[in-house]
Structure 1
């Protein structure tokens, strides 16, 4: 009979009070050692909550005259976060701000968001970027990294240096453990590691050696320092576990709910949004989130990408890989469809959600305005269809100025142009874009670059359809002796093909 494996005792057999006392003293020593401001990363999850709670307890233990430098608490809201988690974080930041003021602590919470041009829906619906994939992960940099790095750089410019306090732990993954071990070797001061991405900033990770169980033990036995109940945090993790189990750590063998992962509800980099799915399954009151799960699964359906994505890349070129066309951005039809589905989901969620989330915005008006301008002025889709789609899906008039005076052709006349093109959508798109380019240059004092712009539009509209583009590209590659991956530009002067020999 096999003997069950023994799990190490929490904190290597030391009492929680001893561990907390030692860590808060370490935090105080580091805080008072210099005038370098601190930036604490806060996501609302268990690890960042534990770290911030330790910092808060340490500062409370200092005399008022020693609380001389600011501690910025930053939380990045991508605007597509799990709505339950986003609400939790927002409420926590509000509670935190009031508590810090009342307790006289130099803690300043900041909710960061990506610039409107960097948001998920502006890139997907506005520019036509396909749903993120492991090899085209365009979202993380724009939505998470840029907002936080911009804030940190401002702190560094103002103060010359910054210390980042993060809830990273070696137990999270083997990759995380290897990275942290590598940075440990380069530490310039006790517990402070260099940040490879941000000059003049150091990283402090006070709970780097804690396990999931130890994090939960601390959170459940120590009251939340700013008054936001950690029991509610536990309940949120419990609801996000597929088996609805998230027990308190009572002995060495008790599992924790540390495997719950929260993130963007639109994420297509994972096979399934397990946390939101579990929330919907475990709590009848959260079934209002079902439309979000359905939309996310549709975004993740790669089988329909051939129908929804252009055969040309964003620059209008045709690119081959293993003699197949590499799909480009979403077509106009697909982008309009995603907008309809998103607004439809928002309407359903608002009608079913509880009162405290009844006015939820899956997409903001600012994002919609940016998408409208990208469609009309960047993509020259002068139909200006967004206001009409918005009104049809929401029953409300779109709150933005009329663009008729800025359009090269009125939306009411667009069907006439389509008729003239006799159902040829590529020809229609090319003529429409040529008119848009002409209008753009007409307002300039100098028209340098006009013919280059015309040429790019004509190249883009040169093909009859995808099959014609593929045939042309394969012939071109054969003549030029191209590689398996080739980018083809269709220029009239390149025909007939014999001219390229």
Structure 2
């Protein structure tokens, strides 16, 4: 038995759970009536958050209408890459909740949040070229989940000055979760009510922090959903996402449960496998249309993707790091940190996602066929990044879109007459057919000049200089210079004056030779 199991109370019987719920209902009512601070319920519409929402709704519904004096904001985040089955469930649940709140004069106000377009998964991966997320570079969570939530909470704080955030966190979820909850107990205002360590003037209320998974399911199955939702459908959703298609109500720790099923982004590469989607496809032939999504996710989940990425960082500079040699772990090698996906692979992922979208819109059930894997706003942002930041003025996105989707791409944000166009790109490709870096440099120089044609000339020379700094050298030359700079810095830190002189002279000679070559060309 691990530390987590020993720290939790033993499982309650149904009678004990009913008694505990009655006490918890009184606690919720007392907290709700004690002040005018609005509540924000963070909900994913999974089992835990559905439980807290049902507990709070039931407690407030038992109060007279005139005592339901303050708002309860129900906040859900859609990352735009959620499992489509779950995304449809969430959208439907929000609509049902909103209708019931209006009908029953309940102070619940649902809000479906999204990341900013520039922070969306595909804008970052296809547009900027960010590699698929890893634990060492987990760029997705902050942009797609935390920022929208924090922005919403800050908006509430600006109006009311303070707020209480209700979360369905439980100690039995993991040892890490238990440790966090234990740490937050230090500054508690009252039972289950703690200061928010991330946002001032907000408190976190965790009513089911000591519940076990079996108690969550027992509550959802034994207590009717009060706003007209269907807890049995939620149970079925979890069961379908479990490998053995079983989801019993557990009565002790030896009984298997579907409580470990995890729903999240279908593109997630932070887990070894998307077990929930795999189980859905395995358990239900009506969900086989999800297979193209699983294929894309598995294709993204390649740990050694250096061949798909630039040898420079996203800002055009070569940076080095030390690692153990794959051939001999006793040897340390110094290699470039891989940068963003190259143009070829960014366009590849665009084709793959558009093709999958076209396929599921044909093969999915009728109520799922309007699903979009990538929005028009995201496509517009990707196009803007490729044109304005990557200087890829061949403007390949509309062409790829029409080839895959069979219809023209409409984008009102970019004026076609301002583009140099694909013909000019083809000419450059022909001229620079033997030198990819020369093509990149020429494209950047031409497009930088074009962008400044309608602007002030201020900054044009600095931007042109950046083009030369990032794109005027071959891969081998750029990496060699990075090694020399590293050696120079190391020699300087060691006080090796002679070596500093040699390296400095070598770099000056290389720069002079490079400038001569450029002027001649």
Question: Which TM-score applies when normalising by structure 2?
Answer: 0.89
Structure 2: distance between partners of 1:58 and 1:427: 69
1:332 aligns with 2:343: yes
Match of residue 444 from structure 2: 433
Offset, 1:253 = 5.2
Match of residue 488 from structure 1: none
1:299 aligns with 2:304: no
Offset, 1:151 = 0.7
Q: Deviations over 1:195-244 (max 9, x none)?
A: 01111100000000000000000000001111111011001100111111
Structure 2: distance between partners of 1:483 and 1:332: 38
Structure 2: distance between partners of 1:456 and 1:493: 22
Contact 1:8 1:252 in 2 (8 A): no
Contact 1:78 1:119 in 2 (8 A): yes
Structure 2: distance between partners of 1:493 and 1:460: 20
- TM-aligned CA distance change 1:276 to 1:69, over 3 Å: same
Structure 2: distance between partners of 1:483 and 1:13: 72
- TM-aligned CA distance change 1:57 to 1:448, over 3 Å: same
Q: Which structure 1 segments of 5+ residues have no match? A: 485-490
Structure 1: distance between partners of 2:505 and 2:218: 71
1:364 aligns with 2:375: yes
- TM-aligned CA distance change 1:251 to 1:179, over 3 Å: closer
* Counterpart selection for 1:351 from 362, 381, 386: 362
Equivalent residues in 2 for 1:411-430, closer than 5 Å = 411-430=422-441
- TM-aligned CA distance change 1:97 to 1:373, over 3 Å: same
Structure 1: distance between partners of 2:505 and 2:281: 56
Contact 2:118 2:124 in 1 (8 A): yes
Structure 2: distance between partners of 1:372 and 1:8: 55
1:285 aligns with 2:286: yes
- TM-aligned CA distance change 1:16 to 1:481, over 3 Å: closer
Contact 1:295 1:341 in 2 (8 A): yes
Match of residue 106 from structure 2: 105
1:474 aligns with 2:464: no
Contact 2:9 2:210 in 1 (8 A): no
- TM-aligned CA distance change 1:451 to 1:356, over 3 Å: same
Q: Deviations over 1:276-313 (max 9, x none)?
A: 1111111111110000011001111133x222100011
Match of residue 65 from structure 2: 64
1:169 aligns with 2:170: yes
Contact 2:194 2:205 in 1 (8 A): yes
- TM-aligned CA distance change 1:19 to 1:479, over 3 Å: closer
Equivalent residues in 2 for 1:265-280, closer than 5 Å = 265-280=266-281
Offset, 1:260 = 0.5
Q: Deviations over 1:307-351 (max 9, x none)?
A: 210001111000111211111011111100110011111111111
Structure 2: distance between partners of 1:416 and 1:474: 35
* Counterpart selection for 1:454 from 461, 464, 489: 464
- TM-aligned CA distance change 1:419 to 1:483, over 3 Å: farther
Offset, 1:399 = 1.5
Contact 2:11 2:251 in 1 (8 A): no
Contact 1:216 1:256 in 2 (8 A): no
Structure 1: distance between partners of 2:251 and 2:182: 30
Q: Any idea what SS the aligned residue of 2:110 has?
A: strand
Q: Deviations over 1:361-387 (max 9, x none)?
A: 000011001111111111111000000
Contact 2:214 2:251 in 1 (8 A): no
Offset, 1:417 = 1.7
Structure 1: distance between partners of 2:489 and 2:157: 52
Offset, 1:448 = 2.4
Match of residue 140 from structure 1: 141
Contact 1:9 1:252 in 2 (8 A): no
Offset, 1:124 = 0.3
Moved more, 42-51 or 424-433: 424-433
Match of residue 247 from structure 2: 246
Equivalent residues in 2 for 1:58-207, closer than 5 Å = 58-207=59-208
Q: Any idea what SS the aligned residue of 1:203 has?
A: strand
Structure 1: distance between partners of 2:9 and 2:204: 28
- TM-aligned CA distance change 1:492 to 1:146, over 3 Å: farther
Contact 1:479 1:497 in 2 (8 A): no
Q: Any idea what SS the aligned residue of 2:263 has?
A: coil
Match of residue 417 from structure 2: 405
Offset, 1:419 = 1.6
Structure 2: distance between partners of 1:104 and 1:20: 23
Structure 2: distance between partners of 1:251 and 1:458: 67
Structure 2: distance between partners of 1:274 and 1:253: 21
Q: RMSD of the TM alignment (CA)?
A: 2.3
Contact 1:125 1:371 in 2 (8 A): yes
Structure 2: distance between partners of 1:92 and 1:220: 17
Structure 2: distance between partners of 1:423 and 1:246: 60
Contact 1:11 1:210 in 2 (8 A): no
- TM-aligned CA distance change 1:9 to 1:481, over 3 Å: closer
Structure 1: distance between partners of 2:450 and 2:296: 37
- TM-aligned CA distance change 1:492 to 1:84, over 3 Å: farther
Contact 1:122 1:367 in 2 (8 A): yes
Question: Which TM-score applies when normalising by structure 1?
Answer: 0.93
Q: Deviations over 1:364-422 (max 9, x none)?
A: 01100111111111111100000000000111111224743112x23222211222223
Number of aligned positions between the proteins: 485
